[in-house]
Structure 1
C-alpha cells in the first residue's frame, strides 16, 4: 500500500481536500509546511500592525517560520469528540499561499466550528482570502454537517472584517481582547447553516467553479466513531 494511502487510512485528515477551480485547501504535509513557514517568515502583515491575539508573527524570518512549524506539529493530532483542529494549506494555482484552519469544541453537542487563517503578504489583494473562507464554510456545512460557524477579527483588521462581511456572516457584537498588553475590541461574526444555505449559490458563482470535496467522509466518520466510543462504558473503570 502506498505511503499516502496508508496514512489516509490511519489518519483520515491527511486526505481531506476542498477545491474550486484553481483554489484548494489540503492537508499540510511537511514539504508544504516548510514552504508555508518560509512564506510567513517573509511577512503576513505590516510590521506596525498585529492581527493576531498571540503575536507569533513578530520576530526574525526564522523565528516566525519556527512558530509556524511548532504550531502545526502541535495541532496535527488534535482530533477527538471533545475538540478537533483541522489545519489546511491554501494552494492557489499550485502554489501554497497561506493556511485555513477549522477548530471545534464539544462538536457532538454544538456542531460549531471556528475558522482562522492567514495569507502571505505577497499573495494578498487577489480575492484569495474570500475564496478560502467560502471553501472552509463548504467543508464545514456540506462536508462535516456543522450547524454554525464563527470567525472574528480585531476592529482594526479591516481586511479580515471585510472578508467576513463579503462572505455574508452576520455581525454578532464585539468584545475586548488583550493584545500586546492593551485591550482591543474584537469583532465576532456568525454564519448559521440556514444563512449559508441561502448564500450557497452566490458563493459558487463567486468561486467560479463547483466545489469538490475529497477525503471528507472518512474524516467525518472518524469524528463520529470517536463520539460513539466516548459514550460507551469503559470496562476498565470500577
Structure 2
C-alpha cells in the first residue's frame, strides 16, 4: 500500500541544521503554520510581500494559508512547482521556507521565499534557515541558480540575502497595495557565492524529491548526504 510520502515525496523531506529543522509541510505542520500566521508576521502598516496575502481579516488568514498550500500540492509538476517546507526550532514551527520554479529540468533555477513568526524575528533564524535551504537546493536537488527579491524598504530581508551571498541585479517598479508604488530589488545566488553556515546540514528524503521534480540522474540508492565540498566554504554571521 502506498504511503503519503510515496504519493507526495516532499512530505518525506527533512533538513537538520543544528537546532533548526526544515520538514515537508504535512497537514499537521500546516495547522501549526496557520496558527503562527494568525499571531502575526509583520506590522500591519507595512507590507513586505509581493502579493499582500497577509491582508486578511482575523480567522481568514489561516484558511487562506491552508488553501494556498493545498492548491500548490495539487498542481505540483516539474514544469511548475512550489516546494514549501515548515521551519522548526526545538520541535516548534516558527516559519516557512520555499522555492518556486518553472520548467525546472531545463532552467535549474527557482525563486526563494520565506517568513518567520513576528516573535521569532531579529535572532538570526531567517539567515540560518535560508542558508540551510540553499544548501539543500544546490547540493541535493540539482539547482544551479537561485533568485530572490525584496522591497527596498524591507532591510531585514535584504540583509538575510546579503549574508547568504545573493548579489543584487535589477530594481523593478511595482504596485504593492492599492495605489502604492514600491521598488523591488531582485537578487541572484550561485553555488560559488553561497555563504554556508557553520554546521553542515543533514538531509533525508532528497532522492525521491529529485525524481519528483524531473531529475533522473539519481540512482535509487543515491545517498542523502552532502558532497565533500559542502563543508569547504566561506563562513558568515547568522
Shorter-chain TM-score tier: 0.7 to 0.9
CA positional deviation for 1:185: 0.5
Partner residue in 1 for 2:149: 152
The structural deviation recorded for 1:102 is: 1.0
Which structure dedicates a bigger proportion of its chain to helix? 1
The CA distance in 2 between the partners of 1:142 and 1:85, in whole Å, is: 18
Post-superposition Cα deviations, 1:76-109, rounded to whole Å, max 9, x if no partner, equal 1333221121111010111100111111111111
Match of 2:174 in 1: 177
Which residue matches 2:213? 223
Deviation at 1:64, TM superposition (A): 1.4
Q: 2:203 — aligned with what?
A: 213
Deviation at 1:7, TM superposition (A): 1.6
Contact 2:104 2:214 in 1 (8 A): no
The answer to whether the Cα contact below 8 Å between 1:102 and 1:136 also exists between their aligned partners in 2 is: no
CA deviation after TM superposition for structure 1 residue 204, in Å? 2.8
Find out whether 1:167 has 2:157 as its counterpart.
Answer: no
Call closer, same or farther: CA 1:222–1:124 in 2, change over 3 Å. same
Q: Could you tell me which runs of 5 or more consecutive residues in structure 1 were left unpaired when the two chains were aligned.
A: 228-238
Matching residue of 1:189: 187
Cα drift, residue 225 of structure 1? 6.1
Alpha-carbon deviations, 1:59-89, whole Å to 9, x = none? 3331111121111111113332211211110
1:29 corresponds to: 26
1:173–1:226 Cα change, 3 Å = same
Structure 2's unaligned 5+ residue stretches are 218-238
My pick for the range that moved more, 151-160 or 187-196, is 187-196
Deviations 1:25-53 (A, max 9, x none): 10111121111111111110011100112
Report what 1:113 is aligned to. Answer: 110
Within the candidate set 66, 80, 97, 1:83 is matched to 80
Aligned ranges 1:12-27 → 2 under 5 Å: 12-27=9-24
State the distance in 1 between where 2:90 and 2:207 align: 25
**In the alignment, structure 1 residue 135 sits paired with structure 2 residue 132:** yes
From 105, 119, 122, the counterpart of 1:122: 119
Task: Give aligned pairs, total.
Answer: 216
CA RMSD of aligned residues (A): 1.7
Give the secondary-structure state (helix, strand or coil) at the position aligned to 2:82.
strand
Query: Following the alignment from structure 1 to structure 2, what is the Cα–Cα distance between the partners of residues 194 and 152?
Result: 19
In 2, Cα distance between equivalents of 1:168 and 1:223: 25
Map 1:5-84 to 2 at 5 A.
Answer: 6-84=3-81
Deviation at 1:176, TM superposition (A): 1.1
